[in-house]
A = this chain, B = another copy of it.
Amino acid sequence: MGDHSGRTRRRGEELIKAIHDSVLEEVLEVGVARLTMDGIGRRAATPRTTLYRRWSSPVEVLLDALYHQHPVEEPTPGADDLRGDLIRALRLMTEWAFSRAGRAVAAILTDPQSAALMSEALSERVFAGRGGRFTLTVLRHYADRGHFSAELITPVVADIGEALVTKHLLDRGGPPTDETLEAIVDQAILPAIGFGPRA
């Protein structure tokens, strides 16, 4: 807990980091709607007044915390392994979705009051550019190399993997196992681009 030396008071970066951690934990517990300056301050062991010196509302604190998180990592298709790269892309997505930042973003996007105001601003900054397309990156890579026709990559097809993982998260509340990810790739994505069962 305590840092080096006998300092009793945090300032600057150190304090801000503690506050950022505090909001992110707080929002997971109570949701965006129940965020309060008091609650954030309590958890960070700092008085409310200190928070007001920097932010004007709990949501401002939350957004600031999110902007300081690491952006989403992008899949990097490598070897000649479409199936493996798709699975890895979905695993990357799962990991992000279960990170503190991922769940905090979900909390914002599902709150009726905050969602409308800033869903675009948020995705842009947190997804760092045009991120958030996990399987799409992989699909394009292999289509470009002639493994299948690029025409097959429709908006619907590009969403299949992410949609199924998202639904799994919503239904079960937990991350999909590797077997589930494999099933999604084998039974849903690959068939859509021509590698499926025959009627």
Contact = CB atoms under 8 A, between A and B. Distances in A.
A57 interface: no
A193 interface: yes
Contacts of A192: 187-188, 191-192, 196-197
Contacts of A106: 110
A194 interface: yes
Interface residues of A, number: 44
A114 B34 CA distance: 12
A170 interface: yes
A30 interface: yes
A166 interface: yes
A175 interface: no
B164 A170 contact: no
Contacts of A7: none
A9 interface: no
Contacts of A31: 31, 33, 111-113
Given A152-B197, A156-B184, 12 more contacts: A29-B112, A107-B112, A156-B164, A156-B183, A159-B164, A160-B188, A163-B163, A166-B167, A192-B196, A192-B197, A193-B197, A194-B197
